[in-house]
Structure 1
Amino acid sequence: MARRLLLCLLLVPGLAVAQNTQPLPTFELERLQLEPSGLGSLVVGTGRTLDPGVVRVSLQAHFEHLPLNFARTWDPVVHSMGLVQNRLTGHVTAAVGVLPWLQLGAQLPYIVDQQGDSFRGITPPEGRGMGTPWVSVRAAPLQVKNGAPLNLGVELAAGLPMGSEALLARDSFAVNPRVQASLQGEGYQVGAEVGALLRPRYDLSPLSQRAQDVVGSELRVGATVTSRGENGTSTRPELSVLVNLPLQGGRPSGEVLLGVRKHALKGLDLYFLGGPGMGTAVDIPVVRLLVGASFVTGEAD
């Protein structure tokens, strides 16, 4: 009888912990959207469109360190563990100019590898599978190439609910309307966009036991400064800043991304982009690195 009583005393705390463990919600962890036209920045839209009939296709390898970490403070040196510790994704993007002021775009990601560490009894979402595909349409009534003093466009992008839930790569819905503008000078371009990512709200604070660990809709602001190539083999640096302001109780975050693009051959670009994440949001990577190549059938940057 005493042995049975001792066994029950040992098991009860374990059962209580198991009952208190919250399941991990399934949501879209990836927050970066690439600029499929590559006109200006690689990650910030500048209100420009490809000429009618011009097609740009690109392939990117994209690495993120600690894109999901419940225990972070803003100190990239300290963080070494996360429910999603490393994620490697391949992206195929495409854009086509339809009219002088209209462009269509698409982005198809595939998670090549994802690894993490267990957290409070939650098994890390590891493996490979499809991410959320995005499609977009951009209308740009004002463009420098058509004689306007600046570039001004509006874009609507939508995520298709086709990604892997098990890999945190799917929302039930996600739309991203935004306004984009830029100024072009001799050898440089300055651009910005303001938009809102509209998606379901996911409260992760019961898992992390940290207030404001919420993933949901947010206001997005991006700014970029890029050089403009003057010949077929020029090298183009760029600096882009992304800021995310939560609309449903989460934490603000941002990224600073520095890139360089090389015109290797006519119509072929090779490029690199990377930089740190900033802030204590649960879903901002500590660092992001991207390398890629693009091919365009006509005149572009």
Structure 2
Amino acid sequence: MTLRWVVLLAALLLPGVGEAQAPSTLPSFALQRLHLEPSGLGSLVVGTGRTLAPGVVRVSLQAHYEHLPLNFLRTWDPGVNSIGLVENKSSGHVTAAVGVLPWLQLGAHLPYIIDQRGQRFLDVAPSEGAGLDEPWLEVRAALWRMSEGAPMNVAAELAAALPVGRAELLGRDRYALAPRLQAGFVGEGFQVGGEVGVLLRPRQDLSPLSHREHDVMGSELRLGATVTSRGQNDTATRPEVSVLFNVPLQGGRTSAEVLIGVRKHLGSGVALYFLGGPGLGSAVDMPALRLLAGAAFATGEAD
């Protein structure tokens, strides 16, 4: 009889013990993974090895929407599931770049979360609300320039995040660095470019929360390629196609994005643009869909 009561008590208590040990809150990390190209030279999201001319300033304003940017249930196919800890995220972005020297450019990216909503997942409350997202500063040095007779444009860039975003909105890493090497070629009426870089950030293992292996966020290899058209006048319309590919370095999941954009110049120094496309892969922080619209203003010659 005593043994029977011991077994019954264990059956009742052990599930509760397991639930008590399960994580009930998300760790602090930056959910935003899109890097905008502040100079807009070539692509809106992929660097092409070019820098703004000395004294030229470009400022852009963007409205950005992400669908399912944090979802533990996705498979490789985009948009299979419609429930996530963060289902809908709307944000505004201000980017700026200035040419300092013929080979040197400085840039900044300031994002702000306008609204973020989701659904509870396994007793974990969604990160909802509005507030500052993680800002970035960057410096770019041109190593080769076609304007100086080089066969292609090549540049090295270092970007660093400022840990001042709202942690409860998944808007802050303890640290994040992103060195990149960019290359591009400008032809008659077109431009191609690519970049290879590494995102260095703390490792966050979310597998105990999701009960799914490889739900890890951390450092990753980042590859990007783009093809853009070049307008022949100040009011040209320019389409572009960019592909972003992310390879985890600390046990996460591979992901990719295909982004198609169009840029309409309203005159010298003013442009409107739209960019959007699906996310591919089962990484927990890859949105199923991304849409972006913006306007750019430049004081001199800029794409």
CA deviation profile, 1:149-204 (whole Å, cap 9, x unmatched): 21000000001101110000100000000100001100000100000000000000
Give, in angstroms, the shift of residue 147 of structure 1: 2.6
- What is residue 5 of structure 1 aligned with on the other side? none
Count of aligned pairs: 294
- SS of the residue corresponding to residue 134 of structure 2 reads coil
Residue 226 of structure 1 is matched in structure 2 by 228
Aligned to 1:160: 162
Computed over aligned residues only, the root mean square deviation of the Cα atoms, in angstroms, reads: 1.6
Which residue is equivalent to 1:3? none
The equivalent of 1:119 in structure 2 is 121
Contact 1:269 1:295 in 2 (8 A): yes
Q: Give 2:57's aligned residue.
A: 55
Q: Does the residue aligned with 1:145 lie in a helix, a strand or coil?
A: helix
Q: What is the rounded CA distance, in whole Å, between the counterparts of 1:54 and 1:146 in structure 2?
A: 19
Q: Percent identity?
A: 66
For residue 44 of structure 2, the aligned residue among 39, 42, 45 is: 42
SS of residue paired to 2:178 = strand
The one-letter code of the counterpart of 2:22 is: T
The answer as to whether partners of 1:21 and 1:120 remain within 8 angstroms in 2 is: no
5+ residue gaps, structure 1, are: 1-7
What displacement does 1:71 show? 1.1
TM-score, normalisation: structure 1 = 0.95
Tell me which residue corresponds to 1:25.
27
Output the amino acid matched with 1:295. Answer: F
Secondary structure in 1 aligned to 2:167? coil
> Could you tell me whether the CA contact under 8 Å between 2:66 and 2:88 is conserved in 1?
yes
- 1:148 deviates by 1.9
For residues 142 and 97 of structure 1, the distance between their equivalents in structure 2, rounded to whole angstroms, comes to: 16
Q: Return the letter of the residue paired with 1:64.
A: E
Q: Identify the match of residue 248 of structure 2 among 223, 246, 256.
A: 246
Please state whether the residue corresponding to 2:169 is helix, strand or coil.
Answer: coil
Point out where structure 2 has 5 or more consecutive residues left out of the alignment: 1-8
TM-score, normalised on structure 2?
A: 0.94
The aligned counterpart of 1:133 is 135
Taking the aligned partners of 2:18 and 2:126, their CA distance within structure 1 comes to 18
Tell me, in whole angstroms, the C-alpha distance in 2 between the residues paired with 1:191 and 1:255. 16
Please report how far the alpha carbon of residue 24 of structure 1 lies from its aligned counterpart in structure 2 after TM superposition.
Answer: 1.2
Equivalent residue for 2:69, pick from 44, 67, 70: 67
* Aligned residue identity for 1:111: I
Inter-partner Cα distance in structure 2 for 1:37 and 1:137: 11
Equivalent residue runs for 1:182-261 within 5 Å = 182-261=184-263
Match of 2:276 in 1: 274
Does structure 2 retain, via aligned residues, the 8 Å contact 1:21–1:121?
Answer: no
Report how far residue 76 of structure 1 moved.
2.9
